């Protein structure tokens, strides 16, 4: 099939392009390289089934004839304010990618009668009052807070996706992606895992914000790619929303200790007690729906996923 991956030069997108090519699809990767990198897809350039187009989904799209499938992953995704590629630093770009960009790609899906997947996020649940979060929970987002540029634009992206399904008959699905990690996350991304691994490998202090007891659940990248592909191709997904993530919860301090152990680092773990605005205390997916309808759940253990990631960053540091 001919597949468009918008945001295909990013962390998740580049792994998705790679997997789709292995499954003998034709892949058009469209990316403006705002937070992604050509290095992520360099190895795919010699594949005659792969085409990279440098373009911005919020502007006029290049001609994309006969596209049958559209994955929309194009958006900044890092929540860390200190990162130059975070959705705080790139607030306007984030809003536009998730609203204007989603609109443009949905129009393309309508024109080409293509299947469409919107990459949403667990952040649409905000600081949730229900654990674990099920898809029918509508969340607890602060629309005035700093994180709203991402959370609310993703929520609007979901609204647009549902609108095109209801009113214009487009075949759509929404993936609410929970924290995903693995090789090719940018070093300056500063999300928790990458931050801890880089500092541990450099024997620098590992800073844990808050009291460290807040929990996170992490999904290894290959599991996420399996989930996204199943969600696109499985029956009974049209017009549906699915949580994709790992339901195994651990405290942030436990992740710090585990990464320190696996890297045999001399780093000190420093608990800062500094709170981050609207940082959720807990976030954990209920993946019952994905298990039942997609026959999907994460298979890579935390230990294996961390080791694979640490090995990758050891090589590139």
255 is catalytic: no
CB of 316 to ligand NAD, least distance (A): 15
CA separation, residue 279 to residues 15, 100, 128, 274, 316 (Å): 28, 27, 10, 11, 30
Residue 67 sits at φ, ψ, to 5 deg, of: -70, 130
CA-to-CA distance for 287 and 126, rounded, in angstroms?
Answer: 18
- Alpha-carbon distance of 36 to 92, in angstroms, equals 17
What is the binding site for ligand NAD (CB under 6 A)?
Answer: 6-7, 9-13, 31-36, 56-58, 73-77, 93, 97, 101, 119, 121, 177, 179-180
CB of 101 to ligand NAD, least distance (A): 5
Indicate the residue among 152 and 267 with the shorter CB distance to ligand NAD: 152
Of 87, 125, 137, 150, the active-site residue reads 150
Measured from the CB atom, the residue of 10 and 126 that comes closer to ligand NAD is 10
Nearer to ligand NAD, 38 or 233 (CB): 38
Please identify which residue in the block is written with the tokens 């789709």.
20
Query: In degrees, to the nearest 5, what angle opens at C-alpha 94 toward C-alphas 182 and 155?
Result: 90
Closest CA to 193 of 254, 122, 271, 282: 254
E strand spans, 124-200: 172-177, 180-181
CB of 147 to ligand NAD, least distance (A): 12
- Tokens 């976030």 map to which residue? 283
Smallest gap, in angstroms, from Cβ of residue 90 to ligand NAD? 8
Nearer to ligand NAD, 31 or 112 (CB): 31
Instruction: Enumerate the active-site residues.
Output: 150
């Amino acid at each position: 099939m001919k597949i468009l991956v918008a945001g295909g030069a990013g962390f998740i997108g580049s792994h998705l392009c790679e997997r789709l090519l292995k499954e003998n699809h034709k892949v058009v990767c469209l990316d403006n390289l705002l937070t992604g990198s050509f290095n992520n897809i360099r190895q795919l350039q010699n594949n005659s089934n792969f085409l990279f187009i440098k373009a911005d989904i919020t502007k006029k799209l290049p001609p994309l004839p006969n596209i049958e499938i559209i994955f929309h992953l194009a958006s900044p995704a890092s929540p860390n304010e200190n990162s130059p590629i975070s959705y705080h630093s790139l607030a306007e770009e984030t809003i536009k990618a998730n609203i204007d960009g989603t609109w443009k790609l949905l129009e393309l899906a309508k024109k080409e009668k293509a299947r469409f997947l919107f990459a949403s996020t667990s952040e649409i649940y905000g600081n949730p009052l229900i654990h674990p979060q099920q898809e029918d929970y509508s969340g607890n987002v602060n629309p005035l807070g700093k994180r709203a540029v991402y959370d609310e634009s993703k929520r609007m992206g979901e609204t647009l996706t549902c609108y095109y399904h209801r009113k214009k008959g487009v075949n759509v699905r929404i993936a609410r992606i929970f924290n995903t990690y693995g090789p090719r996350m940018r070093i300056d991304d500063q999300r928790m895992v990458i931050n801890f691994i880089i500092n541990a490998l450099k024997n620098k202090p590992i800073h844990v914000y808050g009291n460290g007891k807040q929990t996170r659940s992490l999904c290894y990248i290959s599991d996420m790619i399996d989930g996204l592909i199943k969600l696109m191709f499985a029956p009974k997904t049209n017009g549906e929303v699915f949580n994709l993530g790992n339901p195994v919860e651990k405290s942030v301090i436990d992740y710090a200790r585990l990464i320190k152990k696996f890297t045999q680092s001399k780093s000190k773990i420093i608990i800062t007690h500094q709170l981050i605005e609207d940082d959720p205390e807990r976030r954990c997916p209920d993946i019952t729906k994905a298990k039942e309808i997609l026959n999907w759940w994460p298979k890579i253990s935390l230990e294996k996923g961390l080791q694979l990631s640490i090995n990758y960053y050891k090589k590139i540091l």
